[in-house]
Amino acid sequence: MSGLIRAVRPGDEVELTAMIHELAEFESATADCTVTETQLAEALFGPQPTVHGHLAEVDGRAAAGALWFRNFSTWDGVAGIHLEDLFVRPQFRRRGLARALLARLARECVDRGYTRLTWAVLDWNVDAIALYESVGGRPQTEWITYRVSGPDLLELAGGV
């Protein structure tokens, strides 16, 4: 892989938002993806950032991105990183960028004293699964992920 992995900086929200929408298309979920550049800029660079990111550049072009946030292990008593999205643009795939981004996040964990790097993958994304297993990732098959959103979230919240 010949490329540069770096922390995101203001202005990167343009390419990252485009990548998020490209990822939604890849996952056949374009109707569910409504994030804007303004929202992402606020989440990344606002007064209380809620997400962090890294960008992979190849020949000065945004080729891949990783967005993540801190989580916390009550068992370990320390923080970790949850990788929310990892996306490599099709023309840059098979160059080691995804592995390099994962390695960078692993380094973030080690440098900060975090004990875990976690993520989820769609069960049909066999290429990603193969990569994740090759770097030592292990599926947590005993856990089932749940989500509540939209009208169900409002109802749970008491009808707001």
Please count the other Cβ atoms lying within 10 Å of the Cβ belonging to residue 82.
Answer: 17
Q: What is the pLDDT of residue 160?
A: 61
Q: What is the pLDDT of residues 50-69, one digit of tens each?
A: 999 999 999 999 999 999 99
Say if CB 106 and CB 66 are below 8 A apart.
Answer: no
Q: Report the range of poorest mean pLDDT among 14-18, 37-41, 150-154.
A: 150-154
d(C-alpha 65, C-alpha 3), whole Å: 12
Q: What is the pLDDT of residues 73-100, one digit of tens each?
A: 999 999 999 999 999 999 999 999 999 9
- Tell me the whole-structure pTM to 2 decimals: 0.93
Encoding tokens for residue 82? 């949850």
| Domain assignment of residue 41, given as a range | 4-156
Total structural domains within the chain: 1
Say which CATH number the domain at 100 has: 3.40.630.30
Encoding tokens for residue 43? 């989440």
d(C-alpha 34, C-alpha 128), whole Å: 24
